[in-house]
Structure 1
Amino acid sequence: MQLYLTWEDNMNKIQTTVGSIIQRVFKESNESVRRVVWIGAGGSFGGFYAAQYFMTRNAVTFSSEMFTSNEFVMAPPAYVGDDTLAVVCSMRGTKETCEAARVAKSLGAHVVALYVDPSELTEIADYQVKYESLALDESKTELSNTSIALMMAMELVDRTDGYADHDVAMSAFDNVDAIYRRTVGTTTPLAQKWAEKNKMRKPIYVLGSGPAYGAAYIFSICNIEEMLQISSPTTNSCEYFHGPFETLDKTTSVFQLVSVGRTRPADERSVRFLKEYGGDNVYILDAKEIGLNDLDDRVSEYFNHIIFAPILNNVYMRALSAEIQKSFLTRRYMWKVNY
């Protein structure tokens, strides 16, 4: 029987809704659930990075892997079965994502759909959780797909291996929207200056690492490339010195995300290099300066993506769109040709 849950079902506490979903999955499984696969395409795929990062740093007996939808359809992992939870995300039912959900279900997995509008995906899935698009100004940050997936990851680890900071993390979700709103105000004038400097620069390189890498990836492929049709390679700060740094000169446009957490030294290393050998088109966005330090140090690392992603989409991408006088709603091929 399908189960639809929204945050309104539990007195406006999405944490309770997510906890109910995970509890139902474990209760209704014939085998002990011990694996999770996160499946999506484009921004929906990248939005799972925070959950995957959390799982790989905290889960011991519970395994986790993320897949882009079409790759999962073409080459599903052999382990998927009744002991697997498949969390599948699509705003409105992207074709290959719906097919991925169908494949996961045919293999015996328990399928949870994260969605904005009902579609074939919500018809296929066993459980459905409605989220709010981060691209809309009125959306609550704790109700984004990334936030909900991260909550699921924390619930899974707490239920299986135990997560000592579970309650601290769940409380942190109550603060992320206020941090985001405040950061919009502080970064808007900075974004306008960045956009003015970089309006003629192509490509725009984006760097990030660890818990912020997913936000960097989405900023490149969804915001800059899809929405503005500007080439934008993404590089992990840890990999920057193994090839990509050879592209740097005084004119190169680089947007560096500096995370809080264990991989911050990798970001700081690339910042030092960028400042020495780069020019005026190097831009640094530091998580410490956009509110991540307001969260408890025990859990703040896992919230990098949740704050970075909407700021990059709603402040920096929009500023560049306005500066180059190109609507971010236009596309060259998407929805226009058969692909």
Structure 2
Amino acid sequence: MELREIIEAINEEKQKVGGIENVVWLAAGGSYGGFYPGHYFLDQEAKKLRSKNITSNEFVQAPPAFVGENTVAVVCSMRGTPETIEAAKVVKKLGAATIALYVDESELTEVCDFKFVYDSVAVDSSDFSKTNAAYGLKIAMLLLDVVEGYEHVSVALQSFEGVDSAYRQAVTDIRTKAIKWALQNRESKSIHVLGSGATFGAAYIFSICNIMEMLQIDSPTVNCCDFFHGPFEVINEETSVFLLVGEGGSRSNDERAARFLQEFGGKNVFLLDAQDLGLNKFDSKVSEHFNHLIFSPILNNVFMRELAYQIKKDYMTRTYMWKAQYN
């Protein structure tokens, strides 16, 4: 079944209990961050639908009271993370309709009502309009259109057709800057990542998955708005800061942070602008919701890899993951 057919089937079934009222996004790590654009879209655009993005094990231990028969749960795991499978079981017992996003079949795809395979963001040959983040966003757009109606649905869905080519052009356009950034930061012991609005999920993934997990470098993630409520006190000429400047309503917040960093920061401040990645070529009615779909793979596949090369780090090695017992 196509995504719209899945959403329409769920919506028809849920009419028996009053319709779809809530959407929960369940995943862990990078998959959790990958749901940010879908959640952010509904948070911004929906008038009635409630959306909550929650990490798998947090949901297992403390599911929100609103989750029940009027809920759609979108659950993502590349290969079947145990706590995500458990989250799917819990949310299904609570009466929610479940959609699994996956790369490899696992118990997750057995538990969920519907399943949809996606392309990995870390694989160069992937179609970047078919990643987990892209499908999460498309599900959010279709849910809004089916349940409430979404006036920009046609241009939004058409915009997915330009994602892969925009990403590939951005890879070419930004590589020289990425090499320069990696050279300047190869001695950095900590890299602060800033973003806001629709870019915050990409900033979060860059910190926890790319810099901390893959390169084992400390990396706080800070919202550009909250930057001025504490975190800016650590800025000096040596502080390494990576700022995402996005398209959309929160761009002015990113630009405010940029002005401060340009005045008080030093050579290790780097700004990655959505307009340099071609996001301003998307229709302005929907462009902000596509920030993540370009930013996140660029950060993983260009910036993280360039820094790994400069510090002579095999980014597939881990200290604890796949080794230490933590369950």
Distance in 1 of aligned mates of 2:64 and 2:153: 30
| Secondary structure in 2 matching 1:328 | coil
Q: Which amino acid aligns with 1:40?
A: A
Counterpart CA distance in 2 for 1:226 and 1:53 is: 25
Aligned length: 324
Pairing of 1:8-27 with structure 2 (within 5 A): 17-27=2-12
Between the aligned partners of 2:313 and 2:276, the Cα distance in structure 1 is: 29
**Maintained 8 Å contact 2:20/2:147:** no
TM-score, structure 1 as length reference: 0.95
SS of the residue aligned with 1:137? Answer: coil
Q: Gaps (5+ residues) in structure 1? A: 6-16
| Native 8 Å contact 2:68 2:94 kept in 1 | yes
* Aligned-residue offset at 1:79: 1.6
Give the alignment of 1:217-232 within 5 angstroms: 217-232=204-219
Q: Is the 8 A contact 1:226 1:331 kept in 2?
A: yes
**Structure 2: 5+ residue runs without aligned partners?**
none
Match status 1:38 vs 2:53: no
Task: Provide the C-alpha distance between the structure 2 equivalents of 1:276 and 1:199, rounded to a whole number of angstroms.
Answer: 23
Out of 190, 195, 198, the position equivalent to 2:177 is 190
Partner SS state of residue 225, structure 2? helix
SS of residue in 2 equivalent to 1:254: strand
Q: Which amino acid aligns with 1:220?
A: S
Q: Does 1:204 align with 2:191?
A: yes
Q: Structure 2 CA distance, aligned partners of 1:282 and 1:80?
A: 42
Partner of 2:13: 28
Does 1:77 pair with 2:61? no
Matched, 1:292 2:241: no
Cα distance in 1 for partners of 2:6, 2:34 equals 19
Deviation at 1:176, TM superposition (A): 0.6
Q: Counterparts of 2:110 and 2:263 in 1: how far apart (Å)?
A: 54
* Cα separation, 1, equivalents of 2:65 and 2:265: 46
Aligned partners of 1:194 and 1:283 also within 8 Å: yes
Deviation of the 1:89 alpha carbon? 0.4
Work out the CA distance in 2 between the residues paired with 1:95 and 1:179. Answer: 35
**Distance in 2 between the 1:65 and 1:281 partners?**
35
Provide the secondary structure at the position in 2 that maps to 1:38: strand
Match of 1:242 in 2: 229
The residue aligned with 2:157 is: 170
- Alpha-carbon offset, residue 22 of structure 1: 0.5
Distance 1:273 1:195 in 2: 22
Give 1:153 deviation, angstroms: 0.6
Q: Which runs of 4+ in 1 moved over 3 A?
A: none
Query: Which deviations, in whole Å up to 9, do the C-alpha atoms of 1:7-41 show, x marking residues without a partner?
Result: xxxxxxxxxx2111101111223321111000100
Contact 2:166–2:277, Cα closer than 8 Å, also in 1: yes
Deviations 1:16-69 (A, max 9, x none): x21111011112233211110001000000001101111011111111111100
What code does the residue aligned with 1:113 have? A
Distance 1:21 1:246 in 2: 49
Could you tell me how far apart the structure 1 residues matched to 2:67 and 2:44 are? 22
Please give the root-mean-square deviation of Cα atoms over the aligned residues, in Å: 0.7
Match of 1:96 among 72, 79, 83: 83
Aligned counterparts of 1:211 and 1:170: Cα–Cα separation in 2: 17
2:217 aligned counterpart, secondary structure? coil
Deviation at 1:106, TM superposition (A): 0.7
Aligned amino acid, residue 171 of structure 1: Q
Is the contact between residue 61 and residue 160 of structure 1 (CA under 8 Å) also seen in structure 2? no
**Contact persistence 2:11–2:147 (CA under 8 A):** no
Matched, 1:308 2:295: yes
**In structure 2, what is the Cα distance between the partners aligned to 1:95 and 1:332?**
20
Matching of residue 57 in structure 1 with residue 44 in structure 2: yes
User: 1:42 corresponds to which letter in structure 2?
Assistant: G
Aligned sequence identity (%): 53
Deviation at 1:180, TM superposition (A): 0.2
